[in-house]
Homo-oligomer: A and B are copies of this chain.
């Protein structure tokens, strides 16, 4: 953790002196809420109210400025209107405040003027070494100290449960939603931070500030965008190192959702799939059910219990239909289900415990007896073939918690180090839920939330630091130098054609078939034959017009396949010129590229680009139109190792055709994986905004690059500001 983050940790969530700036009188006023909530929830620090137009506000002394407060202020919450924020920040700077949270809107989300206003705010805060939360922030809450410094009305609640999960949310209103919904489930939160526009701090930096807080076991994120993927990644790595799970719900999976995010908070848009891949890569558990946000962490905290256990779920139930529903939902999410292993089957038989048939262990009414249920659970969690045990409980959970959940709690307590257990009561069963919660046993209120979370829990981990996966290869320094030189030869924003882009790919180690570039001077068949002979390129050949203005050559009729003779080649070149003259009259033609015609078993397309939100990503898809029509593409943050690239290929359905589908010959997917890993190395060159090889020809032995395209970014070389 950085020194800065460390220095701000206490004033952010555990300040001793707080200034509330811009509080006005009046019972229902929004600006009065932080004061009332801090009092209501027993905040023991000092609170000073700043209001230059009054002597007292809410019965308290009102100070004319932050500077006028007689003691050093740790944390100020600016509740003033947009136009007064800058002056208030100046006041805080003069007073030496360490953390400033800003409520007002009207900044980056409000046009050019708002953006300029926000930039000034950030510049001032940075210069003063102040940590700035917001603007557009509903505040910061520490449930443990009663520092409930928020304008969110939900904190009026009397039952602010203690908890060990920190909520970081772009949306201010959602912190109230999570508080309310968590409370019903007896799940409390240690902290809430409403991040708003993330002008200076973001999820990543605030997460880093809090990550080693001993009161926090895990993080709950409600994300509308991703403003600083580098900081986010550092936070994710730190959380993982400390064994603190991070669960995220991400808005903007749909087009309309993305549009709202832009208009609402001035965020950029990225590709939902890229964000998902980025989160998975960083071991963030992305949930699709809102309630899983607070239900998932308890189970994810059990991950150490899964070490050396198979990644399978065994569902034990007293209620056939309910258990079957859970099995169905788990199976739909790709979870492997295990019935009874041989030892456990023997145990059940010897003890006359029914267990049904197939993948659901249904003890039926026998499960209504404490001893039977406890014996069954003990057996299952101490069986080495069990991965996760999930207990689906019927009506007894509602009326007889002592029968429904006591055996689970006791079996788990008596067998430390046994397999992890999760519970799903079918009925509404608050008493059972509270008992499970108190015993630290993960429990779920809905079958969908349970299945979502269990799928995440059992998924194989991905990423470089886990499961023995290899790091992406390091590029040799001479290779990197050579490529940097090739890039430097072009101006920023340039689109490199097949020849120039091809040189870069060749430099990376991705070769292409022999080729000869002929200056197009209306050569006749004989001349062309001589050139090909000299270059040892034999018919049949393919000919392409080379031009920086024709990134998609085929659409301009600038590619001719399967040319058999010199006459044919002469005609083909003339015809292509005619096409281009008609379709793109101003295109500059650099020459004609002639290559031998090569066939393979299938095609792939491999791409690299910098996503607005999550930075460099590499993609691979089946060639032809399948990638586009079926969105049959795998994506990862770049660079990737060859092993990760191999996993990507497994995700692409269309490559079934290259895996020996219905007796077809098998393509060299290992070579394709190596190529994907090499392309992903382009991430090292900030100047490269986008690159594509379409198609890569996959053969039985090896792969061949049949095209190349690279686009350079703007002068910064980093389009992701």
Contact = CB atoms under 8 A, between A and B. Distances in A.
A427 B291 CA distance: 11
Contacts of A360: 260, 264
A329 B632 CA distance: 22
A321 interface: yes
Given A358-B263, A399-B153, A173 B328 contact: no
Most chain-B Cβ atoms within 10 A of its Cβ — which of A261, A360, A428?
A: A428
A251 B356 contact: no
Contact of A625 (B30, B157, B357, B661): B661
B222 A321 contact: yes
Contact of A172 (B321, B329, B653): B321
A358 B259 contact: yes
A630 interface: yes
Contact of A177 (B174, B427, B625): B427
Contacts of A254: 327-332
Nearest to A394: B173
A321 B263 contact: no
A290 B152 CA distance: 31
A174 B322 contact: yes
Given A153-B399, A328-B251, A322 B177 contact: yes
This protein's copies in its complex:
2
Given A256-B359, A327-B260, A657-B625, A395 B427 contact: no
Contact of A173 (B290, B357, B395, B429): B395
A502 B571 CA distance: 45
Interface stretch (A37-45, A178-186, A708-716): A178-186
Given A255-B331, A321-B172, A446 B290 contact: yes
A169 interface: yes
A321 B170 contact: yes
Interface string A244-270: 000000011111110111011000000
B173 A252 contact: no
A479 B309 CA distance: 64
Contacts of A255: 331
Interface residues of A, number: 81
Contacts of A337: 256
Contact of A426 (B157, B173, B319, B656): B173
A170 B324 CA distance: 12
A626 interface: yes
B625 A653 contact: no
Most chain-B Cβ atoms within 10 A of its Cβ — which of A261, A325, A626, A663?
A: A325
A65 interface: no
A222 B173 CA distance: 35
Interface in A309-363: 319-322, 324-325, 327-332, 337, 356-360
A428 B176 CA distance: 10
Interface in A273-331: 288-291, 319-322, 324-325, 327-331
Interface in A392-451: 394-396, 398-399, 426-429, 446-448
Given A181-B427, A184-B428, A358-B259, A171 B324 contact: yes
A5 interface: no
A224 interface: yes
A646 interface: no
A484 interface: no
A331 B252 CA distance: 10
A299 to B, nearest CB: 19
Interface in A647-693: 653-654, 656-657, 661-663
Nearest to A153: B395
A236 B325 CA distance: 24
Nearest to A336: B256
A251 B325 contact: yes
A548 B398 CA distance: 61
Contact of A395 (B170, B176, B251): B176
Contacts of A357: 263
A215 interface: no
Interface string A449-460: 000000000000
Contact of A260 (B30, B171, B173, B359): B359
Contacts of A263: 356-358
Interface string A168-203: 011111101101110110000000000000000000
A169 B321 CA distance: 10
Most chain-B Cβ atoms within 10 A of its Cβ — which of A154, A252, A329, A395?
A: A395
A188 B326 CA distance: 24
Contacts of A112: none
B153 A396 contact: yes
Contacts of A153: 394-396, 398-399
29 contacts: A153-B396, A154-B427, A171-B321, A171-B324, A173-B321, A174-B321, A176-B394, A176-B427, A180-B429, A181-B428, A251-B325, A251-B328, A254-B330, A254-B332, A255-B331, A256-B327, A257-B324, A257-B328, A257-B331, A259-B358, A260-B328, A263-B356, A263-B357, A263-B358, A264-B324, A288-B448, A289-B446, A625-B657, A626-B630
A-B pairs with lowest CB-CB distance, top 6 = A171-B321, A257-B328, A180-B427, A254-B331, A256-B331, A173-B319
Given A179-B427, A256-B327, A629-B653, 19 more contacts: A152-B395, A153-B396, A154-B399, A169-B321, A173-B322, A174-B322, A177-B319, A180-B398, A180-B427, A222-B321, A254-B332, A257-B328, A257-B331, A259-B359, A263-B358, A288-B448, A290-B447, A555-B663, A625-B656
Interface of A: 30, 152-154, 156-157, 169-174, 176-177, 179-181, 183-184, 222, 224, 251-257, 259-261, 263-264, 288-291, 319-322, 324-325, 327-332, 337, 356-360, 365, 394-396, 398-399, 426-429, 446-448, 555, 625-626, 629-630, 632, 653-654, 656-657, 661-663
